[in-house]
Structure 1
Amino acid sequence: MDTSASNRRLRVLLTAVGSGALIPQPDFQRRLVWTNKDKIEFIKTVLEGYPFPEIYIAAGSVDAKTGEGAEVLVDGQQRITTLYQYFKGSPDIRLGQDLVAYADLPEAQQINFLEYKVVVRDMGNMPLDVIKEVFKRINSTSYGLNAMELHNSRFGGEFKIFAENVSKLEFFEAYRIFTSSDIKRMNDVRYCLALVITVMSTYFNRDVELEAYLERYNEEFEEAGALIDEILHVLRFIDSLNFDLSSRAFKKADFFTLFVEIHRLLIRERAALRAARVRTCLEIFYETVDSAANGYNQDNEAALVYYKAALQASNDRGSRIVRGDILREVLVQSEMQA
């Protein structure tokens, strides 16, 4: 495999994109997900003459009769597309007051922009399946990235930042919801993303909705202010229950269900939950679940079903719904006590 590196002037790449000689977004590549802020900062990088990582190009189809052909941008589509949008004055970039439009730059600056040298690694002519494999190796778990780390490499926008801020709330540290390994591999952010999306919508299967929400709210997340108030309100209520750190309430699957169901009752349904009553009912319920886990109280079907849903495939939609329905009933029953 030929992977020789060389420099190409930016103007050569931009004119190739314009003429169709360079295809910046082949079918196997992901859609553009940079925020407007990301684009602005990257354009400034080039205008100020700082380098950016190499891009990968491979030979595309060639017309044997005319000799005309195209190249495929294997990796680097967001960078080159952003620069092309700036060069062409595309409405897909909102420049604001901090960045002068390309058309309004002094000619000397325009020339410097066009003459900027991009490091290009040319992979030569190879079959499409090999190109796809190279792209996957560059951008996927071949480098040990988990799903959230991959999302983080693609999405740096408002929704990801919101979930990241939620994961850093003092509550999660105080109750040891996340391990150091969770934090190191961004599983705390992944967990909080799933939690936030669930209270915004409903239970879903594993991480299936993460990418859709990260992309939908990548540029703006106007609900952030109201939602963080709701989250803090629910966390304060759970904190007021005064459960011991060893309580089942703070196991990941159990806490997920507890948070979602209390949010639905307190916020959506405006139920007047009383902490003392809720604590009593939950404490009894969790003790029954723990007994079922240890082989006792096997005749308590609700506790046994809940335990199994928290133990096996706990992130499946079905398990989340089962736990939610059972725990909701416990919370509702707490309000029926004298």
Structure 2
Amino acid sequence: MLTVFGNFKGTYKMSLNSIIQPSRPTVSQIVEQFRKKDMFVDNSFQRRLVWTERQKVRLIETILMGYPMPEIYVWQQPADADTGKQQLSIVDGQQRITAMTQFVTNEWKLSKAYLDNEAAEYVDRPWKDLPDAIKQQFWDYVINVRTIPSNVDAEQIKAIFKRLNETDKSLNPQELRNAEFNGTFIKLAETIADLPQFGELRAFTDHQIRRMADVQFTSGMLMFLRRGLLEETITTINETYDLYNDQYEEAEQDLAAVQEFLDDCYNIYFCNGRVRSFFSKQVHLFTLFCVDQSLKAKGANRDPVPAKLNSFVETYEDNPNTSEIIEKYREGASSRTRSRASRALRLNNLMKWIVET
């Protein structure tokens, strides 16, 4: 049984670092393993692919220039009892391995705009157009790989991944959160973010989606259903993930509530393109969701809502100084939009517009 450093108080415990084995495989070996699924990405803690084309091109240039790249960490899986086949889970290095594999399948070229050596023979060329000598140089490049034994458990692997990346500014809090939690709550948030009705709102840019901003947003929707109107901070999100990581009995109920809301957006609330455009923006979409849930909880008649939303948008955009309700809502939408106070301002005043005006 592997023993690692815990809360060290003078008693010697085996260091995890001491049993991680170094090796130096070539790009050829790594790409082949990845293609054959002998090396794979574990989505239970890994993040989405986020590298831009510039980052990919510069990685390949690093290889072709013979410069070193950071170590890759893999986790050895238990061997198949019958065949002895043993897979490797990528702990740290997903972006690099994927970029190398994409390059040799001609998914992008080595754009001159991203290269330091603009006179190199490989400038603006995809893989298929490179000379054989350069291809051979690429395949022969060696990478430092550290292999973690299979008797290290999954929780330790997640801790390693988080530790490796927590000082990397390219990882945001939601991506680190994805590495730490893999229970029902985050999986449901990801399921909602992947719903076609949610994607069709176009509330998030491709870059924001790669950085999991959409998953953080849908997590906020689920937080509202479970805990009401909260200040959305790293602490409150992590608390909620932890609270519902192992047991989330209302998951199906909450999924149905969000799906019904999305259907209502298209079938009821979005009475015209202007209303849809306004309430597809993240800050207003979240407010509309809270209002929708509040109206349903009160059993209120929603027939007048489309017309009320239309008049709200028209006043907000065309005659903002004619309504105190609009001004208060605008205040709640102008700064610290994830604070409880700002959310309450928006929710209360949009509700007031719908119910009282």
CA drift of 1:160 comes to 0.5
Report the AA paired with residue 190 of structure 2. E
- Say whether residues 1:241 and 2:241 are aligned partners: no
Q: 1:100 maps to which residue?
A: none
Structure 1 runs not aligned, ≥5 long: 1-10, 26-36, 56-75, 85-117, 119-133
CA drift of 1:82 comes to 5.7
CA drift of 1:20 comes to 5.1
How many residue pairs get matched?
A: 232
What is the correspondence of 1:306-321 to structure 2 with a 5 Å cutoff? 306-321=329-344
Q: 1:46 maps to which residue?
A: 78
Match of 2:239 among 212, 215, 220: 212
Q: 2:210 maps to which residue?
A: 184
Match of 2:3 among 8, 14, 17: 14
Structure 2 runs not aligned, ≥5 long: 17-43, 46-73, 81-85, 93-147
Q: 1:270 maps to which residue?
A: 299
Q: 2:307 maps to which residue?
A: 280
For the Cα contact (< 8 Å) 2:231–2:339, is it kept in 1? yes
- Say whether residues 1:159 and 2:151 are aligned partners: no
1:175-205 CA distances to partner (integer Å, 9 max, x unpaired)? 2122211211110000000111012221111
Report the AA paired with residue 325 of structure 2. A
Q: 1:175 maps to which residue?
A: 201
1:229–1:253 CA distance, 2 compared to 1 (3 A): same
- Say whether residues 1:290 and 2:317 are aligned partners: yes
In 2, Cα distance between the equivalents of 1:290 and 1:83? 50
CA drift of 1:297 comes to 3.9
1:279–1:326 CA distance, 2 compared to 1 (3 A): same
1:23–1:166 CA distance, 2 compared to 1 (3 A): farther
Q: 1:122 maps to which residue?
A: none
1:28-78 CA distances to partner (integer Å, 9 max, x unpaired)? xxxxxxxxx99xxx99923555456789xxxxxxxxxxxxxxxxxxxx9xx
In 1, Cα distance between the equivalents of 2:301 and 2:165? 49
Match of 2:351 among 310, 325, 328: 328
1:120-176 CA distances to partner (integer Å, 9 max, x unpaired)? xxxxxxxxxxxxxx9987231524101111111111221111000111122222221
In 1, Cα distance between the equivalents of 2:177 and 2:75? 22
CA drift of 1:250 comes to 1.4
For the Cα contact (< 8 Å) 1:137–1:143, is it kept in 2? no
What is the correspondence of 1:132-151 to structure 2 with a 5 Å cutoff? 138-151=164-177
- Say whether residues 1:222 and 2:252 are aligned partners: no
1:329–1:14 CA distance, 2 compared to 1 (3 A): same
Report the AA paired with residue 209 of structure 2. I
CA drift of 1:242 comes to 2.9
Q: 1:33 maps to which residue?
A: none
For the Cα contact (< 8 Å) 2:75–2:90, is it kept in 1? no
Please, what TM-score do these two structures have when normalized by structure 2? 0.56
1:54–1:270 CA distance, 2 compared to 1 (3 A): closer
Q: 1:127 maps to which residue?
A: none
For the Cα contact (< 8 Å) 1:285–1:330, is it kept in 2? yes
1:64-116 CA distances to partner (integer Å, 9 max, x unpaired)? xxxxxxxxxxxx9xx846699xxxxxxxxxxxxxxxxxxxxxxxxxxxxxxxx
CA drift of 1:245 comes to 4.2
In 2, Cα distance between the equivalents of 1:83 and 1:289? 49
Q: 1:107 maps to which residue?
A: none
- Say whether residues 1:202 and 2:228 are aligned partners: yes
In 1, Cα distance between the equivalents of 2:91 and 2:302? 57
In 1, Cα distance between the equivalents of 2:343 and 2:78? 47
In 1, Cα distance between the equivalents of 2:4 and 2:169? 33
